[in-house]
A = this chain, B = another copy of it.
Amino acid sequence: MTVKQLSLPELTEACARLGVPGVGLWREPVQAYGVEAAAKLVRDAGLAVTTLCRGGFFTTADGLDDNRAAIDEAATLGTDTLVLVSGGLPPGGKDLGAARERIADALAELAPYAAERGVRLAIEPLHPMYAADRCAVSTLDQALDLAEGFPASQVGVVVDTYHVWWDDRAPAAVARAGEQGRIHSFQLADWTTPLPEGVLNGRGQIGDGCIDMRAWRERVDAAGYTGPIEVELFNDTLWTRDGVELLEETARRYAEHTL
C-alpha cells in the first residue's frame, strides 16, 4: 500500500532489484490481477508474501464469507498471516464493549478455518481515533485479550508503530505478546501532524515524524520477534510521487532509522 501507484509487476520487479525480500499485499490489487497469477508473480520474483491485508470488519459485515475468502487468498498467496481490521461500531451503536464481543465471536468462527489452511489471524489494534468507524480494538492489550482465547498458532496481533506509539502501556504489551509468541506482524509508519481530513491517509514516511523507530524495533526484537518488518504508509502526498523512487526512499529510510 506504501507504493500503491505501482502495479504488481512493477512492485515485484522493484522489490527484487532493491533487495527487499518480501512484500505485504492488499486484497484489492491481488484480486484485480488474479490471486493465482499474483502468487506466481511474487514467487517467480523470489519474494515472500509477508502478510495479506485485510480481513475483519466483523461488527458491520453481514456474514463471514468474505473473511473466509480472504483466508483462502492468503493460503493461495503463500503467506501465513492475514491481518484483521476488526471494525468499529455498527450504525447507531454506542457500545464498544459489545463490538469487541462480536469480534471475539467472529474470531471463534474463523480461527479454525484459517488454521486448517495454514493461516494465522493477526488482530491489528488501530489508533483510538478509528475506534468509532474502523476498529473497536484500540490497544495492544485489548488485541491480546481477544487473541488469548485461541492458540498462538491461530490468533496473534499486529504491532504497528503508527497505532500504538502514544500508549505508555504498549511496551509491556509488546513483551506480553512476545512471551506468548503472538507478534504475528510488525509494521512501521511515522506520526506526522497536522492530520488530514478523515485521518486515513496521513501516515508519515519513516523519519519524518515523532516516533522513535529504532526504540520500537529494539522493543519488538527484545520480545523475540524474528519475522518480517513491513513499512505501511497511507499517504495521499506520497502516492502522487514516482512509485519506484518512493520505494527506494522508503528502503533507505528503513535502514537509516531502524538498523
Query: Number of contact residues on A: which range applies?
Result: 20 to 34
Tell me, rounded to whole Å, the shortest Cβ–Cβ distance linking A164 to chain B: 10
Contact string against B for A residues 85-107, beta-carbon threshold 8 Å, 1 for contact and 0 otherwise: 00001000111110000000000
User: Which residues of chain B come closer than 8 Å to A132, judged between CB atoms?
Assistant: 166, 191, 193, 209-210
Number of copies: 2
Q: Are A94 and B128 in contact (CB under 8 A)?
A: no
Q: Are B133 and A93 in contact (CB under 8 A)?
A: no
Q: Does A19 contact B (CB under 8 A)?
A: no
Question: Which residues of the other chain, B, contact A197 by a CB distance below 8 angstroms?
Answer: 194-197
Give the B-binding residues of A (Cβ under 8 A).
89, 93-97, 127-129, 131-133, 138-139, 142, 165-168, 191, 193-199, 209-212, 215
Pairs across A and B, CB under 8 Å, 15 listed: A89-B210, A94-B211, A94-B212, A95-B212, A97-B168, A127-B128, A127-B129, A128-B129, A128-B167, A131-B165, A133-B194, A138-B168, A194-B197, A194-B198, A196-B197
